[in-house]
Amino acid sequence: MKSSPTRIVSCRCHRVKIELTGSPILVSICHCDDCQRGSAQIESLSGAPKILDSFGGSPYVLYRKDRVTLLQGRELLFDQRIEGETNTRRVVASCCNSPFFLDFEPGHWVSFYQQRFDVPVPLARMRVQTRFIPPGQLPDDGLPLHRGFPFGMIVRLLVSRIAMGIGKKVANV
């Protein structure tokens, strides 16, 4: 039986480590106003790295929640929310202000900031929510541009949800 690939992602000082099993659902770059505000908020933390790309997008690697295991450093993680009780939390390591992931809590996936990966990850397949990019500043990097969330992305998320329903592992982040 073939084993699933695993990756370890860690904060910059390596005090927080998370194991990811299997392949990502998708790699994309989001330009929505919420991701722009949330990423800018994290970037403003003392010593935090840059998140937003040159076009104002946040590059993410999406994994199913049941394929995410926190190995060490739970006590160092804190939630960063743009507004009070929003369903979207951005998780940051307090030891070095490294952004880890975005969790839309009702969802079955976690969007890891691409910069958390030391080893190459698949390249982004698309830019989403590009309607938030100012006119005349659309990227010309060859990635498909989608004003919202494209049908193909929704299908990939739905298929991953079905696959997750078949599995037994429970997330612990």
Burial (CB < 10 A; 0-12, 13-18, 19+), residue 95, is middle
Structural domains counted in the chain: 1
Please check whether residue 1 lies inside any domain of the structure: no
CATH number for the domain harbouring residue 129: 3.90.1590.10
Distance of alpha carbon 58 from the chain centroid: 8
- For the chain, the farthest-separated pair of C-alpha atoms sits apart, in whole angstroms, at 51
User: 57 lies in a domain?
Assistant: yes
| In a domain? residue 150 | yes
Residue 156, SS3 per DSSP: helix
* Whole-number pLDDT of residue 3: 66
Give me the residues of the chain with pLDDT under 70, please.
Answer: 1-3, 167-173
CA distance 78 to 39: 15
pTM, two decimals, is: 0.91
Residue showing tokens 């949800």: 161
Per-residue model confidence as pLDDT tens digits over 92-119 = 999 999 999 999 998 999 999 999 998 7
153 three-state secondary structure: helix
Structural domain boundaries, residue 44: 6-166
Position 2 scores a pLDDT of 60
